[in-house]
Amino acid sequence: MTVESWTPAGPALLFCPADRPERYLKALDRADMVILDLEDAVAPVNKAAAREALVANPVHPDRVIVRINPAGTEDHELDLAAVQATPYRVLMQAKVEEPSQIAHLPTIALIETPMGALRVEEIVAAPNCIGLMWGAEDLVAGLGGTSSRFGVGEPYAGEYRDVARHVRSRVRLAAGAYSKAAIDAVHIDIADVDGLVAEVQDAVALGFTATACIHPSQAAHIRDGYAPAPERVEWATRVLQGAVVYDGGVFQLDGQMIDGPVLAQARAVLSRAGVTR
């Protein structure tokens, strides 16, 4: 694996507390990859036990990401030492704020502080950065705010506030500029299936690589959202067939002008469908 080529095993990435090893395989059964979490999902008093469980219970290293604590904390160095004793080699690092903080292993940088958001273009260029994810709640907390979303009774209830949307957009653009993986944030309202589905649809439309989740029930909705509908696969197939007939030139299909950008979108559809062209 190189930092330029890493992609997750699928679009549904499920967080699992590292101090709950009895859940590791169950989580893998429900999602494409599991993020074994040594940070927020683990109480401070259980951090050492979480690292011990991580080392003692290895599972499917090609489908595991380990989230470690932020650089500069005592747990950060202890986390790195624990990971080195496992077969896992893909990290997600919390609260990255500058390129020098990226670990020496392939790392997904989690952009969830104001400083990290301002420096995201520098962070994604770090040699060991293989992708970006963003986090809304830590971001807003770091601003002294109380909620990343509009509340009940407000216009656009349930949707992200402008600052959160801005950071999401910057993360997506930075990852795209460097051709690295872009992972969308978790939807913390587990009961809000419609909201999750809408966010996944938007993530797919913007070319996100995957979406993280916090509950097994969310994984199926994410997978379904990233899988293109059969009619979209059929459309994309005809687009690329037409491109061959017209030797890459502009042509019309079903009343739509097909040019370079539309060809690229058709290839993206087939890529998500697992069709190689």
Binding site members for Mg(2+): 112, 138
- What is the DSSP code string of 85-144? TSS---EEETT--SGGGS-SS-EEEEE-SHHHHHTHHHHHTSTTEEEEEE-HHHHHHHTT
Rg (CA), the chain: 20
Query: Phi and psi for 253 in degrees, rounded to 5?
Result: -140, 120
Binding site members: 67, 112, 138
Residues sharing a CB contact under 8 Å with residue 255, sequence separation 6 or more, in sequence order: none
Instruction: Give the number of other Cβ atoms within 10 Å of residue 220's Cβ.
Output: 13
Compute the distance between CA of residue 192 and CA of residue 270 in angstroms, rounded to an integer: 29
Binding site members for substrate: 67, 112
3 state DSSP class of 106:
coil
In Å, how far from its chain's centre is CA 246?
A: 37
Residues 15/212, Cβ–Cβ less than 8 Å:
yes
Residues 146/154, Cβ–Cβ less than 8 Å:
no
